Structure 1
Amino acid sequence: MTEEEKLSATLDRTAQLHEAVAAHVDRIIPCPEKRFVVSFQAGILSLEHAMGALVLIDNGLFASGIALVRPQFETLVRGIWLLYGATEEWVDKLSEPLTVNSARQANEGPSLSEMLKKLDSSKVQPQLVDQLKQFHEVAWKALCSYTHGGIHPLSRTLTGYPAPLATDALRNSNALVSITAQLVSILSGDPENMHPIRKLYVDFADCLPLVPPPVQA
């Protein structure tokens, strides 16, 4: 199989993964507490960014598609932080209706690195935190370059985008999708909702990087 054929196959399988996750998420109702609801909203937004990345890459808009993996990751981390690491004050701030004042206060929140550090001392699974930190260490600088029009997208504009780069970007995005599906399932409060997620890791192993499946909810 050529690299272009691998990319085409990954695009098809990624679309199927999104369909499977969407069908699962549509059945999830988060616990009614404010913390659970706002974390759920962050998870849904992360999945939206992932779908945007898929559509853009599938249409050859590689720079824009890869750039969306950054907010996909950031929103996922924020959702996990809201569940496990945020103070009640921050949960309240990020649950308020959007106004000039609420937007200003929310913009004063912790950075991504600070949220990841906070999760280190939280009740979240160490395995999950390690996955997030590894992704941050490996991909963050390149994703920032794509987001801000740095050397990565400028250089690729001249040389083109090799198929393996787009395939790897999709696989990384898919890893975040699977973690987000795990988060959304946890927010339901029903451990039974984790069973379909474990199955996702098996059924879609061909379009995921080598990440361990979820453990206990």
Structure 2
Amino acid sequence: MTPILKQFLAKSIDFRAAMFREIKEIPFTDETEYQILATLIMADISSEYWEAIHALAYAESFIPAVSLLRLQYESLLRAYWLYYCAKNERISELHQPLDEKNVRSIENHMPNVKEMLVDLDKAVIAGKLHPKSVQMFQEFREMHNQPANSFVHSGMHAFNRQREGFIEPMFIQIVQNANGLEALNAMLQGLLCDSEGWLSLYIVRLQHQYLDCLPMQIENIVQQFYRENAPPL
């Protein structure tokens, strides 16, 4: 691992810490307790994937890091869906004891990625959710779904990358995408914590301060981080 990648990973950790620093106890009522809890549990799962991707980056394990990016995305998408779209019966099912009957019931009723995106679009139309968040989820899926499937299922993307070896700017790009998802995670929790919206503004400002931690094209990554000492692509 080069010093460039080490510095980038350290800055990414600083970025995440800064985003969550002001997020304190999230309020709830008797009516919203289960919904808030379900949302936060799923958001926490997504954050664990972010942590795992960074650990894999330090270990220079490219293929599992790419694979986990898809899982980070899907768990965060579900967190948004649980908060903005899920009906009370779906929330209640999630909180039932873990047994075969309950697992079958919830798995049969939970929407897939495409369905969750459709539901979130409806939430945007209803004025419940800012369209930018859903747009970012949709763009991520359009750009990364096919190659992510290949990595997850050991397809040609995974085979070729293992054969050729990972390219460091590509690793930076993967972590940047993980950081972008974690920024959406922080935005969601900021909204849950602060109905006035100042936390959202704080997180947006942080994103401007840490722009090089957020998704970029490979060409921009090379220019930003490597300049004249760029590794071959």
> Which TM-score tier does this pair reach, normalised by the shorter chain?
0.7 to 0.9
Q: Name the aligned partner's letter for residue 18 of structure 1.
A: R
- The residue matched to 1:68 in structure 2 has which SS? helix
Q: Which moved more, 1:187-196 or 1:146-155?
A: 187-196
TM-score normalized by the length of structure 2? 0.82
Q: Which moved more, 1:95-104 or 1:148-157?
A: 95-104
Residues 3-51 of structure 1 show CA distances to partners (whole Å, capped at 9, x for unaligned) of 95543332121121232244344x2324241212211111111111111
TM-score normalized by the length of structure 1? 0.87
Which residue of the partner structure matches residue 215 of structure 1?
none
Q: 2:175 and 2:132 mapped to 1: Cα distance?
A: 22
Unaligned runs of 5+ in 1: 211-217
Residues 131-178 of structure 1 show CA distances to partners (whole Å, capped at 9, x for unaligned) of 110111001111121112111111111100011111110111110000
Q: How does 1:158-197 map to 2 (within 5 A)?
A: 158-191=163-196, 192-197=198-203
Which residue of the partner structure matches residue 207 of structure 2?
201
Residues 187-214 of structure 1 show CA distances to partners (whole Å, capped at 9, x for unaligned) of 225334324312321221121126xxxx
Whether contact under 8 Å (1:96, 1:102) holds in the other structure is yes
Which residue of the partner structure matches residue 40 of structure 1?
40
Which residue of the partner structure matches residue 213 of structure 1?
none
CA change 1:93–1:201 in 2 (3 A) is same
Higher CA-based Rg: 2
Q: 1:100 and 1:206 mapped to 2: Cα distance?
A: 46
Q: 2:45 and 2:140 mapped to 1: Cα distance?
A: 19
Q: 1:8 and 1:166 mapped to 2: Cα distance?
A: 11
Which residue of the partner structure matches residue 119 of structure 1?
120
Q: Which moved more, 1:173-182 or 1:150-159?
A: 150-159
RMSD after superposition: 1.9
User: How many residue pairs get matched?
Assistant: 207
Which residue of the partner structure matches residue 12 of structure 1?
10
Q: 2:41 and 2:199 mapped to 1: Cα distance?
A: 18
Which residue of the partner structure matches residue 85 of structure 2?
85
Q: Name the aligned partner's letter for residue 16 of structure 1.
A: D
Residue 75 (str. 1) matches residue 81 (str. 2): no
- The residue matched to 1:107 in structure 2 has which SS? helix
Whether contact under 8 Å (1:84, 1:124) holds in the other structure is yes
Q: Which moved more, 1:12-21 or 1:64-73?
A: 12-21
Percent pairwise identity: 26
Q: 1:139 and 1:85 mapped to 2: Cα distance?
A: 24
Which residue of the partner structure matches residue 62 of structure 1?
62
Q: 1:121 and 1:7 mapped to 2: Cα distance?
A: 40
